Amino acid sequence: MKALLALEDGAVFRGRSFTGPVETTGEVVFNTSMSGYQEILTDPSYCGQMVTMTYPLIGNYGVNAEDVESSRIQVRALLVREYQEAPSNWRSEKSLADYLGEAGIPGIEGMDTRALTRRIRNVGAMRAALSTGDLDPSSLVEKARRTPDMEGLDLVREVTCAGPALWRDGRPVPVEGTLDDFQWPGPGDRWRVVAVDYGVKSNILRSLEKRGCTVLVVPADVPGEAIDRLEPHGLFLSNGPGDPAAVTYAVDMLRGQMGRRPTFGICLGHQLLGLALGGKTFKLKFGHRGGNQPVKDLSTGKVEITSQNHGFCVDMHSIQDPDVELTHVNLNDNTLEGLRHKKIPLFSVQYHPEASPGPHDAGYLFDRFVKMMEEHRGRS
């Protein structure tokens, strides 16, 4: 089935749908990972976006029930050069086409993904329209231009959890009643962590649980007073989609939480902390998305190969607090990848130490968070 992708700048790319009829819009971005397409599809940070895979062959190992990062597919569409319809892997439970089709998410193959990626790199991430019915380029370009721009969009409300849940044995267990009624399971739980869900990936929660944390996942609009009543040992701020500057309710909450307890932010959580510390964020030209981004830890001089997925960045120069310190930089473009506060127990990184997909170089950051909780509890 013929498909047409039109970008807001007028460029048009042709392909074929391997999932049936479709018409959708969103921002087009690219990911450089060679594998991990199921984790990418289910990453809530991709809400509102069509993802182009730069690796040419996708679908060869199928999908399964374990390699998911949320409860559903989050992308608007998957764009690939060549789709492999006959998966070969002992863990495969169904084909990628069936997986996408059941969720009503389009998969498009036969596109010149090299040319599309080059276009995005040169021009920047753009709004686009994709259709198998409307194959008129001028009509689709106009639909792309009418699509809401990513800047100014609060997409967190589309992906956050509906209510609080305890993360137990690798899955969320809904909490009965309200947060006012909640009681932590018991004294046997070593570290009590409140994780604010701005679009959290499951492997982040698995990484915390693996280190002995009892994790309570709460919605993105949780008030600071509720967190105070819970008296957690630590506060975790998750990844998520959209423009951080539009999530004003989260920034306001974080300003009131500064210094109350050890705090660790990843991706959007990092950006929200930057805003709460008085800084500003800006949109990157085409973002960082893939499993091979080099990041330098300025405290050790070591270089980590990291998994990343973000289109916005904190402007370190906009933060006037002299106690806020730059800790990590991206070696491709020297953008900020991590910060910490010298006087209060707070640190954050732009990239994804939980990987899934990607390397595990940065897993030590979860250990750092646990150590910070231990030190803070010892002083209190």
Q: Which residues contact 306 (CB under 8 A, 6 or more apart)?
A: 291, 293, 294, 295, 337, 351, 352, 353, 358, 359, 361, 362
pLDDT on residue 380:
58
Return the amino acid letter for 308: Q
State whether CATH 1.10.10.60 applies to domain 156-379.
no
Known active-site residue 233: no
Residues listed for the chain:
380
Known active-site residue 158: no
Domain ranges of the chain: 2-145, 156-379
Q: How far apart are CA 350 and CA 37, in angstroms?
A: 21
203-219 pLDDT, tens digit each? 999 999 999 999 999 99
Query: Could you tell me the end-to-end alpha-carbon distance of the chain, in angstroms, rounded to an integer?
Result: 64
Q: How far apart are CA 50 and CA 108, in angstroms?
A: 10
Pair of tokens at residue 39: 């984790």
pLDDT on residue 177:
86
Residue 379, pLDDT above cutoff 90: no
SS3 call for 144: helix
Residue 63 carries which DSSP code? Answer: B
Residue 156, pLDDT above cutoff 80: yes
pLDDT averaged over every residue in the chain: 96
List alpha helices for 146-234, DSSP H. 156-159, 202-210, 224-230
Residue 349 parent element (H or E):
strand 346-349
Q: Which one is catalytic: 47, 267, 313, 341? A: 267
Q: How far apart are CA 96 and CA 113, in angstroms?
A: 18
102-113 pLDDT, tens digit each? 999 999 999 999
59-117 pLDDT, tens digit each? 999 999 999 999 999 999 999 999 999 999 999 999 999 999 999 999 999 999 999 99
pLDDT on residue 37:
98
Let me know: does 234 contact 184? Beta carbons within 8 Å: no
Q: Do 2-145 and 156-379 fold alike per CATH?
A: no
Dihedral, CA of residue 221, residue 226, residue 227 and residue 230, to nearest 10: -140
Query: Residue 190 — very low, low, confident or very high, per pLDDT cuts 50/70/90?
Result: confident
Mean pLDDT for the stretch of residues 4-12: 98
pLDDT on residue 105:
98
328-358 pLDDT, tens digit each? 999 999 999 999 999 999 999 999 999 999 9
* Cis peptide bond prior to 357, omega within 30° of 0: yes
Q: Range with the lowest mean pLDDT among 38-47, 49-58, 353-362? A: 353-362
State whether CATH 3.50.30.20 applies to domain 2-145.
yes
pTM of the predicted structure, to 2 decimals: 0.96
Query: Residue 186 — very low, low, confident or very high, per pLDDT cuts 50/70/90?
Result: confident
Return the amino acid letter for 269: G
Q: Which one is catalytic: 39, 304, 337, 354? A: 354
Known active-site residue 267: yes
pLDDT on residue 162:
95
Mean pLDDT for the stretch of residues 25-36: 97
Sheet with 303-315: strands ordered across: 171-174, 165-168, 213-219, 191-197, 234-237, 263-266, 346-349, 336-341, 324-330, 280-297, 303-315
Return the amino acid letter for 137: P
Query: Residue 188 — very low, low, confident or very high, per pLDDT cuts 50/70/90?
Result: low
Q: How far apart are CA 305 and CA 32, in angstroms?
A: 13
Strands 82-83, 107-109: parallel, antiparallel or unpaired by DSSP? unpaired
